[in-house]
Amino acid sequence: MKEKKPPFTFAVKFVYMIWGLAMRVIYPPKIEYRDESTKRLLKEEKCIIIANHTEHTDGYYIPQVLPSKKMYTYVTRKWYDKKKLNWLFRRLRYIPINLAEMDTEWLDKGKKVLDGGNSVMIFPEGKLSKNGRLDAFHPGFLMLARQTDVPIVPIVLLGKYKKFRRKRIIVGSPIETDLHEKGRPSVILRRQADLCHGIMAEMLGMPEVEMNTAEDMSAVH
Amino acid sequence: MTENEIKIADRIKELLSESLGIDADVLTYEIPLFGDEIGLDSIDSMEIIACIDDEYGVSMNGVGKEPFYNVESLAKYVAANIG
The pLDDT of residue A208 is 57
Q: What is the mean pLDDT of residues A99-115?
A: 88
Q: Looking at beta carbons, which residues of chain B come within 8 Å of A139?
A: 43
Identify which of A28, A75, A44, A72 has the alpha carbon closest to the alpha carbon of residue A169. A28
Handedness of CA B2, B3, B7, B13 (dihedral sign): positive
Q: Where are the alpha helices (DSSP H) in chain B?
A: 3-20, 42-56, 71-81
Spell out the long-range contacts of A191-194 with Cβ–Cβ below 8 A and sequence spacing 24 or more: A192/A139, A192/A142, A193/A124, A193/A136, A193/A137, A193/A138, A193/A139, A193/A142, A194/A136, A194/A137
State phi, psi for A176 to the nearest 5 degrees.
-95, 120
ipTM comes to 0.78
Task: For chain B, say whether A115 makes contact (Cβ under 8 Å).
Answer: no
Residue from B23, B45, B46 whose CB has the most chain A CBs within 10 Å, to mutate: B46
- The Cα A170–Cα A77 span in angstroms is 28
Q: Looking at beta carbons, which residues of chain A come within 8 Å of B40?
A: 184, 186
* pLDDT tens per residue across span A14-25: 999 999 999 999
Report percent pLDDT > 70 for chain B: 100
* pLDDT tens per residue across span A27-84: 999 999 999 999 999 999 999 999 999 899 999 999 999 998 999 999 999 999 999 8
The verdict on a CB contact (< 8 Å) between A184 and B42 is: no
Q: Which fold has domain A31-216?
A: Glycerol-3-phosphate (1)-acyltransferase (3.40.1130)
- The Cα A25–Cα A123 span in angstroms is 24
CATH, residue B75: 1.10.1200.10
Q: Residue B70 is part of which domain span?
A: 3-81
Pair B79, B8: CB distance under 8 Å: yes
The verdict on a CB contact (< 8 Å) between A102 and B49 is: no
The pLDDT of residue A2 is 63
The verdict on a CB contact (< 8 Å) between B44 and A186 is: yes
Number of domains making up chain B: 1
Q: How many cross-chain Cβ pairs, A to B, lie less than 8 Å apart?
A: 49
